[in-house]
Chains A and B, each alone.
Chain A
């Protein structure tokens, strides 16, 4: 069974750092496009970042320069290192597989981990 489980969320002060993890099972992260998506309280879904199977990486403008996506192929894990956190980064963070075919779509999602940035 293909499964994603996020962890690492919590309460952090503005300016602080946090690393989110996404444990994958049933497939290898290195073979997929892996993404992070977030939802702030009362807001819609916001795409955050993607790492392609070939290693290319992209970020939303709102997190560029502060967040770093990475993966550990040996552990079959996806990560999101978040630095210089702001109140507006408070959100439920999901990892998801972006399936590649004739088009691209996110068809497997984790349940999410919550990040709260507050003093």
Chain B
């Protein structure tokens, strides 16, 4: 199975900060990488798919990049509603796997 590792596991940031989260796969997944935002009590929300394609309705401050085994999610200017946990997920093969998550909280 492909293992996904995110870093950092958590970070503290302020409104307006630029935030970058990294995700690494144990083998190549080409561009089959998605990013989700998850808030307590809500269903996960797809942000980015295909490593860099912004899901419809997602603000443009979110962006994704990468190919192969290394990927990043960037929030260009953190907003109050962005404090949440973020997960990467590979859909290159089944079983699909998620990273362990990165929690973004208020500094």
Contacts and interface: CB of A to CB of B under 8 A. Distances in A.
Interface of A: 35, 37, 44-47, 50, 58-61, 94, 96, 98, 102-107, 109-112
B50 A102 contact: yes
Nearest to B102: A44
Contacts of A112: 43
Contacts, number: 66
Contacts of B101: 44-45
B44 A106 contact: yes
Interface residues of B, number: 26
Contacts of A96: 44
B91 A105 contact: yes
A11 to B, nearest CB: 20
Contact of A103 (B44, B50, B95, B98): B50
Q: Is the interface of A mostly helix, strand, loop or mixed?
A: strand
Interface in B67-107: 85, 87, 89, 91, 94-101
Nearest to B44: A109
A103 B31 contact: yes
Given A58-B94, A103-B53, 5 more contacts: A35-B96, A37-B98, A44-B85, A45-B101, A50-B96
Nearest to B96: A47
A44 B98 contact: yes
Given A105-B49, A109-B43, A45 B98 contact: yes
10 contacts: A44-B100, A45-B44, A47-B98, A102-B50, A103-B50, A103-B53, A104-B32, A105-B34, A107-B46, A107-B55
